[in-house]
């Protein structure tokens, strides 16, 4: 029943995302932070050095800690079986990989490349996957937001301990939103880029949990 609810939540979130794409609000929202002279906060120290570079290093440090914790559990990881600890460590890597693969094939450029914001590219929907807009491309979806969203898997892993699960969920969402918004303010991404990264990371985490339940359940049945 829980898996079915999560599946419906995933589908509904997809519908909301498609509605956002159809709204055309990406460019007007980007215009809150940029103009024909570019994005004033592009090189802002807090956004660039702390939230971008620092956030990325923090995320990798946490991934490393989770990988070590899968073998040598620490803190709340001691309450998890080995299979769940592996799931918790692998999920952020899988989410980041999914986003990176899409970025590598996307022709969509970043807002700061757009002619409307002092660049040379023309805005083209990211759904026109192979249509180059005149910019550098490879900007969809948002990579840095996955430094937060990719940890959504913790919510699935700790379902038996709701308090910890809620903390993981709130922490991952908050970090993803903060990192994503920082990049939007710098002109590095549109809102849709961040939203799609969130959905992709959630979906990867959900699929990982379904797979864990299937294989773990199969092993228990055989035993």
3-state DSSP call for residue 39? strand
213: which 2 tokens? 């339940």
Q: Are 126 and 106 in contact (CB under 8 A)?
A: yes
pTM summary value: 0.93
Q: Are 183 and 52 in contact (CB under 8 A)?
A: yes
Q: Are 129 and 120 in contact (CB under 8 A)?
A: no
Q: For every one of its 223 residues, what pLDDT tens digit does the chain have, with 9 covering 90 and above?
A: 677 788 788 999 999 999 999 999 999 999 999 999 999 999 999 999 999 999 999 999 999 999 999 999 999 899 999 999 999 999 999 999 999 999 999 999 999 999 999 999 998 888 887 888 899 999 999 999 999 999 999 999 999 999 999 999 999 999 999 999 999 999 999 999 999 999 999 999 999 999 998 877 645 433 3
Q: Are 30 and 184 in contact (CB under 8 A)?
A: yes
What is the distance, to the nearest Å, from the Cα of residue 89 to the centroid of all Cα atoms in its chain? 16
Residue with tokens 């299979």: 83
124: which 2 tokens? 């083209």
């Amino acid at each position: 029943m829980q898996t079915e609810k999560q599946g419906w939540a995933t589908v509904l979130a997809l519908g909301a995302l498609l509605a956002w794409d159809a709204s055309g609000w990406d460019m007007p929202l980007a215009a809150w932070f940029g103009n024909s002279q570019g994005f004033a906060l592009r090189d802002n120290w807090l956004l660039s050095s702390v939230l971008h570079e620092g956030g990325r290093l923090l995320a990798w440090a946490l991934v490393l800690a989770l990988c070590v914790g899968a073998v040598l559990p620490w803190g709340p990881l001691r309450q998890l079986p080995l299979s769940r600890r592996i799931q918790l460590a692998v999920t952020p890597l899988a989410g980041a990989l999914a986003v990176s693969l899409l970025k590598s094939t996307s022709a969509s450029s970043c807002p700061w490349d757009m002619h409307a914001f002092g660049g040379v590219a023309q805005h083209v929907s990211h759904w026109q996957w192979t249509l180059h807009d005149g910019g550098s491309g490879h900007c969809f979806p948002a990579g840095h937001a996955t430094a937060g969203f990719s940890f959504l898997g913790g919510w699935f892993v700790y379902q038996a301990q709701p308090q910890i699960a809620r903390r993981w969920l709130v922490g991952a969402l908050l970090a993803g939103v903060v990192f994503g918004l920082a990049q939007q303010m710098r002109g590095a991404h549109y809102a849709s880029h961040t939203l799609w990264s969130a959905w992709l990371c959630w979906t990867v985490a959900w699929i990982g949990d379904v797979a864990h339940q299937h294989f773990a359940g199969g092993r228990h049945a055989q035993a």
